[in-house]
Amino acid sequence: MKVIRAKTAGFCWGVERAINVAREYAIKGKRPVFTDGPLIHNSQMMERLESEGIHEIGDYMSRSELNINVDEAEKKHAVVIVRAHGVSPERRSYLKSLGIEFHDATCPDVGTIAGRIKLQSRKGYTTVIFGDPNHPEVIGLMGYTDARGHVVKTRADIDALPPLGEKVCMVSQSTMFIFEFEQLAEYLKRSYPNALVFDTICGATRERQSEVRVLAQEGAEAIIVIGGRHSANTVKLAALVEKHNLPCYHVETAAELDFKHLRKYNVIGVTAGASTPGFLIDEACKRLAEA
């Protein structure tokens, strides 16, 4: 079968940057490296990083303290890294108080959103964030709202908001659907016509979403989406394929490819989430081409 691979499939630059930072610290095992939660939402890549001496600890959901199990001598050389999703100011202060080196690998795109929220909060604005309230990026961004933040995903969520006052601004989690953000922003403005709307969906997300349409235009009869099932942007890519009325196969690795069903297609499109490593995409494309 013919395989068409999306040009931007795989790591976005923010994720790749965070991984490179961690690897530079861990090189040859000279330094204990800890990340506050999984560095990326991909279990296969996390296993590889663990073997390189990069250890996932902490739980952004419960605000738990980190259990850094090293002696005092190792502690002097250890480093704790904030992943690309970012953290709240409160969490950052805690991590810096641990007495070990601190490195912030927050994606600059996420940092820009945080800065936008912080600036508007200082001006007295209430912030509405379009996103998943349980996603680490959104949890971190809420920390910049000065306790005047609300997370929405649907019109019903907007309808359920308390009165927000005269000063309202709206941003988006960086990995959301573009058209959904535009629709919800328009809906919010019906109640708050003077609301400031900042389109903060990142470029990498836009590229991956637009390439689903390109794969369809190039003749893909079905599309395989590779990436973790707990990766927000990967799940959204799979949902977008279905919105284009194409069969979608969401797999984490090539081992999950169902060739019994896939062989009925002459042309297969392949894309992947921003946290999917290249070696997983390469393996899937190779096996598809050989089928």
Q: Tell me the catalytic residues.
A: 137
CA 136 to chain centre: 8
Hey, what amino acid is at 27?
A: I
Question: Which of these, 10, 9, 35, 8, lies nearest to 21 by C-alpha position?
Answer: 35
Question: Which of these, 245, 243, 251, 244, lies nearest to 270 by C-alpha position?
Answer: 251
- 172 contact partners, CB below 8 Å, separation of at least 6: 113, 129, 130, 131, 181, 198, 199, 200, 201
HSE at residue 48, side-chain half, CA atoms within 13 A, is 14
The number of residues in the chain equals 291
Hey, what amino acid is at 40?
A: I
Question: Which of these, 83, 75, 76, 86, lies nearest to 35 by C-alpha position?
Answer: 83
What tokens appear for 276 in the block? Answer: 């999917």
